[in-house]
Amino acid sequence: MVGLDFHHNFFLKEHNTFGIAARAEKLVVVQNVESLLAVIRANTVPMRVLGGGSNILLTGDLPGLTIKNEIGGIEIVLENEHEVLVKIGGGVVWHDLVLWAVGQGYGGIENLSLIPGTVGAAPIQNIGAYGVELKDVFHSLDALDLQTAEPLHFTLEKCKFGYRDSIFKQDLKGRVVIVDVFLKLQKTPVLYTAYGDIQKTLAEMGITEPTIRDVSNAVIHIRQSKLPNPKEIGNAGSFFKNPELEATDFQTFIQEFTHAPHYPQPDGRVKIPAGWLIEQAGWKGKRFGDAGCHAKQALVLVNYGEAKGEEILGLAHKIQSSVKEKFGICIIPEVNIW
């Protein structure tokens, strides 16, 4: 196709933050909707979409065609006295969007600073951090069906957002490519600083009346101090979701593990930090060849150099079995396994 370069047997080590040395049978980079439509209409082989590669574990080479989504653009499409509706291309780097919003003085996503990946991947995961989730600012998105090239529009309700979950990880897994995302950002934002160490970090910075930029900087500082840099050691951030227990199950759990940290949720369930469970089960800092559990954050599985995806997945399975045996709790991967 004119203007498009198809790469064969493409090396993916630099295109996934775990640094797994897998290959794509065929890969093409698309930077606009027209090119994406042309690719979908012309190909009959299985297709999958790759964004920033920050929330995947490659367990082998990728057959068929891999589409690298680099559709760009940040545009205000509606505006009133209180908020702006922003259209963002699916290939925009998420943190670049956060920095743009902070620079414009638009609030709502500053707590999501430094989350790796692209805007198009954000709704799939319903990304979240420090008391804020994507769904809190989400308006809608446009997508294309990977089989028919049919244009699709998803409202907040249609996305079926849950905790690190959406319709794109369930019924529509692998079936659509997200082209544009529309977010509602606030001109007079309400800051969320009570979650985690944000308030403590702001105090250490000597800030008593924070702005959205201050909150963003605090979150960046916290993330950099707690999570390993993928450029230095391969990882995809938090590997497991924090489990949420029903009230009756929590009462049974807390009677035995009285000092366990826990966070009541609006729906009556109680969230238990997966990192605490993994650490208590004895996995923190453990290493098996080049696959390991990070020494400072047990929730992060890492590739120390040349680990294969199957080795990291095997370690994950062992951790799951150990936590289940010790606590009776199932922990589920947050990372997508390819």
The 8-class DSSP code of residue 316 comes to H
The length of the chain in residues reads 338
Residue 148 DSSP SS3: coil
Distance CA 270, CA 142 (A): 34
- CB-based contacts of 59, cutoff 8 Å, min separation 6: 308, 309, 310, 313, 337, 338
Residue 245 CA, chain-centre distance (Å), reads: 22
Phi, psi of 194 (to 5 degrees): -80, -20
Q: Which residues are catalytic?
A: 164, 238, 334
A 10 A CB-CB count for 322 gives 17
Q: What DSSP letter does each residue of 179-213 carry, written as one string?
A: EEEEEEEESSPPP--SSTTHHHHHHHTT-SS--HH
Distance CA 118, CA 120 (A): 5
Distance CA 12, CA 69 (A): 14
Distance CA 192, CA 196 (A): 10
Q: Do residues 55 and 335 touch, judged by C-beta distance below 8 A?
A: yes
Distance CA 62, CA 55 (A): 16
Distance CA 123, CA 181 (A): 8
Q: Do residues 263 and 80 touch, judged by C-beta distance below 8 A?
A: no
